Each structure stands twice: as structure tokens, then as C-alpha cells.
Amino acid sequence: MRDKNVLVLGLGRFGSALARKLFEKGVEVMAVDRDYTKVQKLADQVTYTAQADMTDEETMRELGINNFDIAVIATGSNIEASIEATLLCKDAGIATVIAKATNITHARILQKIGADKIIFPELESGERLARVISGSNLLEFIEFSSEFSLAEIRVHQAWVGKNLMELDFRKEYNLNVVAFERDGKTLINPNPTTLIEKNDLIVLIGKSEDVDKISNEE
């Protein structure tokens, strides 16, 4: 099985931090931006760099974007560009497209046109997203501060068939359950008697160290 390769479009503070950290973790990274200065700064810190317009279909095709497993649309201030780049990446057949949003409306548009994951720059850390991408599971992780985080994780096999009262996440893991995702639908503030099913995703909030601990358990 070959290693993941990631396309990062937009090299602001967030995109640059993400690209560098992914490369440090052994991920093949192509970093793209229209600004030559930004591209040059990363030239020796990622696998490949390219000065290009991410909304230009022909240019993106020449860069071989269809060969990438994951694309991160790291520009957010130019909403039109982020939408066009997201569409180009989805049309190119990239399996996972992660797009940065500046507000809820922007996020909804990106989701409707096919973005697989939405991230918010005010809450998401480029380095944290790099750890998520380079890991085995690609799930939502939002770091509110250095201390508290919100995470969406796959349910553990031992939880299946049990409810929240039985599992008592607050006592057992020092975390609070705020939602389930089941069959593509999100259940906010789930009933404590709701039984956990095999393919559920569960959304937890608490201290980052506790979130990391439960995320690494089987």
C-alpha cells in the first residue's frame, strides 16, 4: 500500500503550517499558491511546490491533481476561489477534499458541492489537522485552545449495543458526548438511553489530553 499524498492549495499561515507538518510526518506534499514569495518560503520544506492559480482547470490538470489522495483547500478569504478549487478537486476524482470555511454559509456551500470535510481557521490548527491526516483515521478534530478539544471518533467495538448511561463517558473518560452521526445524520444531545451502533461516529468534548487518549484506544 503506497503512502498518502496530499495537495495543499493556498499557503497562508494555516496552509503553510499544515504542509510543513505533513511533510515532517513523512507525507508526500505538493503546496500550491499564486504568490511566488509564499511558494519560495516552502520550497525546501515540502516535497513539491508550484506557483499556480488553483482555479485554473488546465493548470491544475497539468500539475496532476488527479494523482492525489487528499486535497486541502486552505484558502478561505477568497470564497469564490475556494468554491472553484473544491469543485476542480472533486471533478478530478480526489478521494478526500477538505475545505477551509470562513463562516457557516460558506461551509454549507462547500458541503453542498461535495467537500468531504469542512474546517474553520479560527478553531482548527494546521498542525493538528496534519496529525489527523497522517494518522489512520480521518475524522473531525477541532482544538478550541491548547487545553480543550472537540472530536468526532469511530465507536469502539466494546461500546456497541450499550447506551450512554451504561458507558458513563463523563466518569470513565472525563469527556462529554454531544452528538452521534448515524447513517449520514447528526443526532445532537442524544438521549442517554440511545444504543450505540457499529458504524456510529460519536462527538466528544473535553480536555485535549483526554480526547487524545480515547482516540488512541481500540
> Tens digits of per-residue pLDDT, 33-66?
999 999 999 999 999 999 999 999 999 999 999 9
Percent of the chain at pLDDT > 90 equals: 41
Work out the pLDDT band at 2, boundaries 50, 70, 90: very low
Within 8 A by CB and 6+ apart from 106, the residues are 76, 79, 82
Residue 11 has pLDDT above 90, yes or no: yes
Within 10 Å of residue 85's Cβ, how many Cβ atoms? 27
Report the pLDDT averaged over residues 61-75: 94
Q: Is the pLDDT of residue 87 over 90?
A: yes
pLDDT exceeds 50 at position 91? yes
- Return the C-alpha cell found at 142: 477541532
Buried b (16+ CB within 10 A) or exposed e, 98-128: bbbbbeeebbebbeeeebbbbbebeebbbbb
> CA 11, 15, 16, 21 torsion: positive or negative?
negative
Residue 146: what pLDDT? 52
Sign for the pseudo-dihedral over CA of 79, 85, 91, 96: negative
Distance CA(116)–CA(51), nearest Å, equals 25
Q: For 112-133, how does the pLDDT look when each residue is reduced to its tens digit (9 = 90+)?
A: 999 988 887 655 555 555 655 6
CA dist., res. 128 & res. 167, Å (int): 28
